[in-house]
Homo-oligomer: A and B are copies of this chain.
Amino acid sequence: MADPRFYSVAGPFGLEKLAAIAKAEIAGTPANRGADYRDVAPLSRAGPTDVSFLDNRRYLPDFKASRAGACLVAPDVVKAAPNGMVLLVTREPYAAYARVAAAFYPRPAPRPGTDTRAAVGPDAKIGEGCRIDAGAVIGVHAEIGRRCHVAANAVVGDGVVVGDDCYIGPGASLAYCVVGSRVIIHAGARIGQDGFGFAPGSGGHVKVPQLGRVVIGDDVEIGANTTIDRGAGPDTIVGAGTKIDNLVQIAHNVELGRGCIVVAQVGISGSTKIGDFVMLGGQAGLTGHLTIGGGAKIAAQAGVMRDIEPGVTVGGSPAVPMREWLKGVAIVARMARKEGG
């Protein structure tokens, strides 16, 4: 059970209701069809009134030993279930779990109001239902949509536009940017500062004025302490539905497509364009001015120095097609073992 200091649980839910929330089928006709479920829990800790899930097959032993009352599973593991466990079958058990967990633990709407210790600039517009916490600073002419939560000590710069139902975490700062709706910006994220633009000149590095913005689509999530610089002239763009993890660096003029997944500590250099539904593994780095095709997959720690065609998977530094990278790794390992023997 989630720590009641931090979470309060809704429910309980009956089996039919759970199946509807999960968009899953109830397997067979369980004896305990009328039972109520009170919480979600991991397989190893779940009890008879908990709903759990199996997604990563690494946890199959935990599944077989689990005492969970009900479990969200893919069709192919139904037969491995322990006796007495009610199965909710779906092709997407993790997404189904997400829906069930959100039913038990709905994200509370922010309590509306502006703390007396927040500072709201002249001509700023705050939509109805917003919560502005202590120490938050909202700039001149900024516009915040409805039902947003601006957390403690966050800074929304002059003229910044934020859509509806957004969350801006503690200490985050936004400047020179236009943000869509249902966007989550975690603590300490830095959006819209000057890009790293210097022209080598005879008298030292000349600072290049950065005249663009950051434009963030709907349903984007931006991780803690991630940095997104504003464009130099064009905008820096993050497409709708893209999810960015912590400590990621996105340089000026980068364009990220829709539905991308960018894992922690990735770095994307200036003016690189990334298509839709691209996946970037943790700590991967991309040089500037590249074009990465839609659906490409970039392995963790890869160092991408060339354009990538749509749908291609790459790895290594410098990055090459995954198969080629793995083969090179295997060849070197074989030589090392042979020499050692």
Contacts and interface: CB of A to CB of B under 8 A. Distances in A.
A119 interface: yes
Contacts of A133: 137
Interface in A161-214: 161, 169-171, 173, 175-176, 184, 186-188, 190, 193-194, 196-202, 204-209, 211-213
Q: Is the interface of A mostly helix, strand, loop or mixed?
A: loop
A328 B333 contact: yes
- How many interface residues does chain A have, given as a range? 35 or more
A312 interface: no
Contacts of A247: 225, 227, 247, 249, 267
Report which residue of A176, A186, A233 has the largest number of chain B beta carbons within 10 angstroms of its beta carbon. A233
Interface of A: 2-3, 5-7, 40-42, 45, 55-56, 58, 92, 94-99, 101-102, 104-105, 107, 115, 117, 119, 133-135, 137, 139, 141, 151-153, 155, 157-159, 161, 169-171, 173, 175-176, 184, 186-188, 190, 193-194, 196-202, 204-209, 211-213, 219, 221, 223-225, 227, 229, 233-234, 241, 243, 245-247, 249, 251, 259, 261, 263-265, 267, 269, 282-283, 285, 287, 289, 300-301, 303, 317-318, 320, 323-324, 327-329, 331-333, 335-337, 339-340
12 contacts: A42-B233, A94-B200, A95-B200, A97-B199, A101-B208, A102-B207, A245-B249, A265-B267, A269-B282, A283-B285, A317-B317, A318-B329
